[in-house]
Amino acid sequence: MSFKAFSYSVKQGLLSIKRNKMFSLASVGTMVACLFMLGVFLAILINFRNIVNSAESTITISVYFNKDTTPEQIAQIGRDISARKEVANVTYKSADDAWKEFASQYYSNNEDLLASFGDENPLGESDSYMVTLKSMADQENITNYLNNITGVRYVNSPQSTMESLQRLNAIISVSSISLIVILLLVSVFLISNTVVVAISVRKEEIAIMRLIGATDHFIRGPFIVEGMVIGFVGALLPLGLLFGLYEVLLKLVNDDISQMASWLMLMSPGKVFIILAPVCLALGVGIGMAGSLITVHRHLKV
Amino acid sequence: MVQFNSVSMVYPGGNKALDDIDFRIRKGEFVFIVGASGSGKSTIIKLVLKEISPAKGMVRVMGNDLASVNSKGIPYIRRQIGTVFQDFRLLKDRSVYENIAFAMRVVEASTRDIKIRVPELLSMVGLSNKENCLPQELSGGEQQRVALARALANRPSMILADEPTGNLDPANSMEIMKLLERVNQQGTTVLVVTHDNEIVNQMRKRVITLNRGILISDNEESGYSNEF
Ligand SMILES: Nc1ncnc2c1ncn2[C@@H]1O[C@H](COP(=O)(O)OP(=O)(O)OP(=O)(O)O)[C@@H](O)[C@H]1O
Ligand SMILES: [Mg+2]
């Protein structure tokens, strides 16, 4: 397509939006509604992923050793664990550290009881590694691996916490994605309806263009542009709206939540919208184009 | 220019509109096609424009067998043919100027050419003072002159006119016919479908007569150049 034909398409597409104000408004409206809901689900999805990721990084698997395991063996096992690609981080905690931590947590108000232990460390067999994983998905594998290392006495893996987090993650992902797919189909349908109307309004014009000898893509061009512009505007509006609402929500909620658990905090608007904005715009323009293409192809046969 | 070889046309539903038609129109000719309503006149126009394809026979336009022209090629054939219809077929929401310029935009003419050509055409059809009017602000005769100017915009080698005077009074009809005659004198082939015997008698041109899809007479004169 030449530049001339392209600029003609853009000009005519914009003109036709102006000429069919009501239809254009109606389709922008439906796009806004669809993409707004889609944006809400996407924002929830993005935030939830983030929460699950932060939760994952706070969950650790503890590996305890037999008393007769030598420090050299423990160090070697530590290196082996670190070398696995599923493992994010390994920290060593000696039995003494463990006891100090335990004592300060549970006996801080009861010096006498603490004294009765004397120098003896009741957690004497509790040299341990705290292992964090990159992804919860590998947790079962790694637990099995750790259990089979000689010298390891006990592996404490918070299986149930992880499993429920994962299940929740899966449920939210699947339901958001199915809702998003439904909304996409609805928007394509609505846009293509609008283009059908736009085409029937301009049936005469199209017939005249054919008579004069306009090529097919010259006739289609303006409709495609029209669909894309409607899609673009239909994506910009809900994005602006979502951004505003998100900031308000952030102010209302984050102060309260941050005191409960930092990993539950909502992500910053920048981090959410760097994903949301391109996705919404691409979807808007894509839906507009797809809707037009499908309809134009079906209704503009020679 | 145009050649029909044993052309038959059957519309879906079994309506036989043309039956074994043969004729040939040479470059530079002025030809009338006449016949009662339903005799197949418009069907001939549609075949030349390849809006429909014949059931049998061959249609050649400007040297091309239309059967071998695919949908990509059709626009390029149509660009060489200017069309005028009884109902004018102007864009109602655009000015006279825009209606004519539109035909040039469609074939991607340059803005410079459009600016030169459109006033030229307007003065030729005597509507220079109406360029900013909408079609509805013009009389029928004026609208048809705009349609003719549009048909001529891209300097076609042939004009097809299907009942161009069907909606006009005798004076306006004559004016359109005079314009067509002038266009023809400048070398453009003209094919006019009409009901109007008065016009046909006055113009003294070649006349092809159809009756119920059959060509019943053609006063083709000898002595035309054999140019095709
Ligand atoms: N699209 C169509 N589908 C079916 N039959 C058609 C169609 N178009 C025309 N016909 C039939 O074909 C025959 C010829 O029609 P055509 O339009 O060529 O006649 P015409 O000579 O132009 O008539 P008029 O002077 O009324 O315009 C008629 O019997 C008509 O009913
Ligand atoms: Mg007719």
What is the rounded distance in angstroms from the CA atom of residue B144 to the CA atom of residue B130?
13
Spatial CA neighbour of B69 closest among B84, B53, B85: B53
Give the predicted TM-score (pTM) of the model.
0.70
What is the rounded distance in angstroms from the CA atom of residue A61 to the CA atom of residue A91?
11
Q: Are residues A201 and A147 in the same domain?
A: no
Phi-psi region at B108: left, alpha or beta (left = phi > 0; alpha = psi -120 to 50): left
Q: Are residues A146 and A215 in the same domain?
A: no
Is the pLDDT reported for residue B225 higher than 80?
no
Confidence at residue A160, expressed as pLDDT on a 0 to 100 scale: 67
Residue A13 Cα, gap to closest chain B Cα (Å): 14
Q: Are residues A41 and A129 in the same domain?
A: no
B66 within 8 A of B52, measured Cβ to Cβ: no
Confidence at residue A48, expressed as pLDDT on a 0 to 100 scale: 81
What is the rounded distance in angstroms from the CA atom of residue A299 to the CA atom of residue B78?
21
Winning range, highest mean pLDDT, from A20-34, A247-261, B41-55: B41-55
Q: B86 in ligand 1 pocket by Cβ < 6 Å?
A: no
Q: Are residues A21 and A133 in the same domain?
A: no
Angle among Cα B185, B188, B193 to the nearest 5 degrees reads: 100
Q: Are residues A124 and A169 in the same domain?
A: no
pLDDT digits (tens, 9 = 90+) for A113-151: 666 666 666 666 667 888 888 777 777 788 888 888 877
A27 within 8 A of A191, measured Cβ to Cβ: yes
* Both tokens assigned to A244: 């505003």
Q: Out of A8, A208, A215, name the one closest to residue B105 (CB).
A: A8
Which value, to the nearest 10 degrees, does the dihedral of the CA atoms of residues A265, A270, A271, A277 take? 130
The secondary element (H helix, E strand) that includes residue A166 is: helix A159-201
Q: B14 in ligand 1 pocket by Cβ < 6 Å?
A: no
Instruction: Report the CATH number at residue A134.
Output: 3.30.70.3040
In the numeric block, the tokens 């263009």 are attached to A209
Largest CA distance in chain A: 104
Residue B74 Cα, gap to closest chain A Cα (Å): 7
What is the rounded distance in angstroms from the CA atom of residue A53 to the CA atom of residue A59?
10
Q: Are residues A142 and A285 in the same domain?
A: no
Residue to substitute from A7, A208, A209, A302, interface B, most B β-carbons within 10 A: A208
Of residues A200 and B135, the one with the higher pLDDT is B135
Give the long-range contacts of residues A198-203, CB within 8 A, separation 24 or more: A198/A16, A198/A20, A198/A23, A198/A223, A198/A226, A199/A223, A199/A295, A199/A296, A199/A299, A199/A300, A201/A20, A201/A23, A202/A16
Domain hosting residue A22, numbered range: 3-56+163-299
Average pLDDT over residues A254-278: 76
Domain boundary among A157, A173, A189: A157
Q: Are residues A47 and A126 in the same domain?
A: no
Q: Are residues A102 and A148 in the same domain?
A: yes
Q: Are residues A44 and A167 in the same domain?
A: yes
Q: B38 in ligand 1 pocket by Cβ < 6 Å?
A: yes
Which pLDDT band, with edges at 50, 70 and 90, does A302 fall under?
very low
Residue to substitute from B106, B112, B154, interface A, most A β-carbons within 10 A: B106
Confidence at residue B44, expressed as pLDDT on a 0 to 100 scale: 96
Is the pLDDT reported for residue B22 higher than 70?
yes
B104 within 8 A of B117, measured Cβ to Cβ: yes
Domain boundary among A128, A157, A186: A157
Domain boundary among A100, A135, A157: A157
User: Looking at ligand 1, which residue's alpha carbon is closest to its atom 3?
Assistant: B11
The mean pLDDT of chain A is 80
Distances (CA, A) of A194 to A189, A191, B35, B142, B228: 9, 5, 43, 35, 47
Confidence at residue A146, expressed as pLDDT on a 0 to 100 scale: 82
